[in-house]
Structure 1
Amino acid sequence: MKPFSRAERVSVKIQSTLSELLHKKVSDPRLEMATVTGVKLTDDLRHAQVFFCVSGGKKAKYEALAGFKSASGFLRKSLAGKLGLKFMPALTFVYDESLDYGSHINEVLKSLSVDGDSDTEGESDS
């Protein structure tokens, strides 16, 4: 049995190729700070969800979505040439909320007081 499915292997290849294309070939300023964080491909290799993140808040998020929408034809054509698949999957771009959530969790943890630690130190001395 193969350790990874074909869809997973193609997903990794799409992610690395898209990252390279964004860095070297796409000149849209809305996509300069965009990072591809993952690709989820259906088992039939027909549809791909491309997850991305961008710094700069909600405005940058919506601008990046518009940038991906306008560049999707170029990206799909470039990917088709590099991947050599029989069918090139349709690309859907989705903002990756996980980094924002992780940042929010960090803020919450930093805001917690460390008074609880000093109470346990005093009890262990008794």
Structure 2
Amino acid sequence: MDNKRISKISEEVRRCLSDIVQNRIKDPRIPDLTSISHVDVTRDLSFAKVYVSCLGSDKERESAVEGLESAKGFIKKELAKEVKLRIMPELIFIKDDSIERAMEMDKLIDEVNHGNKLS
């Protein structure tokens, strides 16, 4: 299948999943600041790796992924209403800590730059 089509499908799935997670799921394990940062759909549309990012501790991120796993059936049903695909991919939720790593790197860069200004 065409890579351009796969990337369009991945982005559409990401957009719809973001809406579902923000507005339709009422699980207390999922914080309000949970977002879907990226979705990778396989070429045969059988699986979708969903990268979940949320601010908070490691335990809160794990809890959010567990909450999404338990609501997988509901999420898949809602996703099927919005994204018209012959085969709805199986969702695999993965904790994404790239935002935290980026903030940590930014902090380190600021410390180095601040240290250079003092010299």
Residue 63 of structure 2 corresponds to 63
Cα distance in 2 between the residues matched to 1:105 and 1:85: 39
Structure-1-length-normalised TM-score: 0.83
Structure 2 equivalent of residue 16 of structure 1? 15
1:5 maps to 2:8 = no
Amino acid at match of 2:64: A
Amino acid paired to 1:69: E
Provide Cα deviations, 1:54-93, integer angstroms capped at 9, x if missing partner. 1111111111011011111100111112112111000001
Percent sequence identity over aligned pairs:
26
Find the counterpart in structure 1 of residue 105 from structure 2.
105
In structure 1, runs of 5+ residues without a counterpart are 120-126
| Matched position secondary structure for 1:112 | helix
> Match of 1:53, as an amino acid?
S
- Mapped to 2, the partners of 1:115 and 1:93 lie a distance apart of 40
Task: Report how far residue 117 of structure 1 moved.
Answer: 4.5
Bigger mean CA deviation after superposition, 42-51 or 25-34 = 25-34
Count of aligned pairs between the two proteins:
117
- Normalised by the length of structure 2, the TM-score is 0.88
Q: 1:49 to 1:115 in 2, by over 3 A?
A: closer
- What residue number does 1:47 align with? 47
Which residue of 2 is the match for residue 27 of structure 1?
A: 26
- Long gaps (5+) in structure 2: none
Q: Could you list the runs of 4 or more consecutive aligned residues of structure 1 that deviate by over 4 angstroms after TM superposition?
A: none
Match of 2:91 in 1: 91
RMSD: 1.8
| Structure 2 CA distance for aligned equivalents of residues 69 and 115 of structure 1 | 44
How many angstroms apart in 2 are the aligned matches of 1:44 and 1:77? Answer: 20
In structure 2, the partner of 1:124 is none
Structure exhibiting the larger radius of gyration computed from Cα positions: 1
